A and B are shown apart, each in its own frame.
Chain A
Amino acid sequence: MAIEEIVAPGSSIAAPPPVVGRFSDFVYQLRGNPATFAGLFIVALIFLSALLGPVLARYDPYGVNLGDAAVPPSFAHPFGTDQYGEDVLTRVVVAARLDLIMVLSAVVLSTVIGVTIGALAGFFGHFFDEGVMRSQDVLQAFPRFVFAMAVAWALGPGVITVIVATAAINIPGYARLMRGLMLSVKESQFALAAVAVGNSRWRLLWRHLLPNCLTPVIVLSTLQCGFTILEAAGLSFIGLGVRVPTAEWGVMISMGLQDFLQGHWWIYTFPGLAIAVAVLGFNCRTSSIPSGGGYRQCPCSRFRISARVSFSAVASCVSWTA
């Protein structure tokens, strides 16, 4: 829950300075940060298996072979086979593509919608702002996963469902974050300067203000990647998302659950590990974001709120709460 609540106050304290990420800066930062490096490596690995998975696979991910059902890990099947004789390793690798597509679509969808709503609310204020914020409050009065379950159920199972449901629960967060950022950025000197030289309102909004709010938004989206993997898998696991026998990590775990009492641990262990590693990868990557030195670290040194325990500590915890 509450990533947005946590990012937003810290970020509204001071608008991030206008910065342009440079690749060399990014590489420089990477060298000092092994966790980020590991995270990038994992994410790269996932992208690679998403791209090449079907090519690399030794077996057909849907190759039902009841003669080889539920074989424990062996040389021929390093991760064993499931109860239909499908190779678990193959399915784990192949599933990367579907999971990645679902996660990235959900993240992009919620970012675009949320940022647009939030930017408009923050920029125009008044009635529109009030409406957006109140509906926000209501949506956030549900536990996230319960909300996702309800949306997924209403839409019926499928890939699109997972994307929409996991995107829906994140839209309020982006809207709230973006609104807070916009409120502080629109009062800044450079906004005033942009108006003074004759920019139109829309140009001010899209070309001057929006780009300067993006760093925290990017942080939130990378964080969201990790959580969305978990939520998408959760939905599929309980049968409200993608359905059996699709090669998807959450589905594969639920297939393992059916065989739990037979002790076929490999059926659910390896897909679960894949999820954990993927989430880990996305979360590590977030610990440092290009442009200006990692948003999460910078508030500590740059902006101090003296009296109150500053939100920077809260912001550094961001990666967590969902």
Chain B
Amino acid sequence: MSLEIEPGEVLGLVGETGSGKSVTAYSIIGLLKQPGRVVGGEVRLQGRDLVALAESELEEEIRGKEISMIFQNPREALNPVITVGRQLTQVLEIRRGMSKREARQEAVKIVKSVHISDPESRLGSYPHQLSGGMAQRIMISLALSCEPRLLIADEPTTGLDVTTQYQIVQLLRELRQRTGMAMLLITHDLALAAQICDRVAVLYAGRIAEVGRIEHLFQSPRHPYTKALLASRPRLGLKGDIVTIAGNVANLMDPPGGCRFHPRCPNAVSVCSREQPALEPMEPGQRVACHNPVGVRQQVAASG
């Protein structure tokens, strides 16, 4: 699988649970949990291969400073027995070499920038005293504390209530405008991706099914999976049942041969079970990995 993100761009990585979104994200900064490990491939950050870097180099140079992450369930992502202020100043002291006092001032500044009211007293609280939205703001402050070039947001709105979700999305959009950092948004929620992302990559069973600008993808999905995903969105005014995708997500321990989506694909043809389709450009800025993309065969048939 291959993805690239331009500076300042927001790329969405969309897929069902278990499609390998988070694994992708964690392998970027080398935080895969045991027994997972990166077996091949490369992660390039401005020409440097991160996979080839030693753990100490990753720790010292990349994490936090170049790439940082925010997570789902923000309250669990913060250390429960350390005040959020200390968590923040600790990073500033260690990673940016600030004195205690500087760190304190900087922490207040950062926390203010994510629109936390009364930052002084908030910094003295423990994670369990914060609401989910507040905790996510703190988490974002932590991620921003070393001014990274790339922010990976792993399901940043999961576990938050709807109004808070909206606020966090607003905040992420604003930050992107202000800081100009690139963002990788990992989500299963196409609607969320549509709100923030420039481009979206649709992932199925660890492989990219389709990549393209968000408006193209919504208007003319080429991969049958993308189409099915769009069709299965709950919408206002929808009549009848939500359309679901037949079958289960492919088992990544034992994936089906050929195109991994073929057992569930309405467009499947015989070659799908034998050959893995390559990710090929279809239209400007849109690439699809499919032997029989939506809306193409019909065109061919019509013209021929």
Contacts and interface: CB of A to CB of B under 8 A. Distances in A.
A306 B76 CA distance: 7
Interface residues of A, number: 3
A308 B73 CA distance: 15
Interface in B124-182: 128
A307 B78 CA distance: 10
A118 B75 CA distance: 37
Contacts of A307: 75-76, 80, 128
A306 B128 CA distance: 11
Nearest to A308: B80
A308 B75 CA distance: 12
Contacts of B76: 306-307
Interface residue SS majority, chain B:
helix
Nearest to B80: A307
A160 B75 CA distance: 56
Interface string B93-128: 000000000000000000000000000000000001
Nearest to A306: B76
Contacts of B128: 307
Interface in B66-88: 73, 75-76, 80
A307 B75 CA distance: 8
Interface in A230-255: none
A307 B73 CA distance: 11
Contacts of A306: 73, 76
A307 B76 CA distance: 7
B3 to A, nearest CB: 31
A306 B159 CA distance: 14
A264 B76 CA distance: 60
A300 to B, nearest CB: 14
Contacts of B80: 307-308
B155 to A, nearest CB: 16
Nearest to B73: A306
Interface in B13-38: none
A250 to B, nearest CB: 44
A252 B76 CA distance: 55
Contacts of B73: 306
Interface string A275-307: 000000000000000000000000000000011
Interface in B238-281: none
Nearest to A309: B80
Interface in A301-322: 306-308
Contacts of A308: 80
B78 to A, nearest CB: 11
B197 to A, nearest CB: 30
A307 B79 CA distance: 9
A313 to B, nearest CB: 15
A88 B128 CA distance: 62
B160 to A, nearest CB: 16
B190 to A, nearest CB: 28
A217 B73 CA distance: 35
Nearest to B127: A307
A64 B73 CA distance: 73
Nearest to A307: B80
A85 to B, nearest CB: 58
A112 to B, nearest CB: 41
A308 B128 CA distance: 11
The 7 closest A-B pairs by CB, nearest first: A306-B76, A307-B80, A307-B128, A307-B76, A308-B80, A307-B75, A306-B73
7 contacts: A306-B73, A306-B76, A307-B75, A307-B76, A307-B80, A307-B128, A308-B80
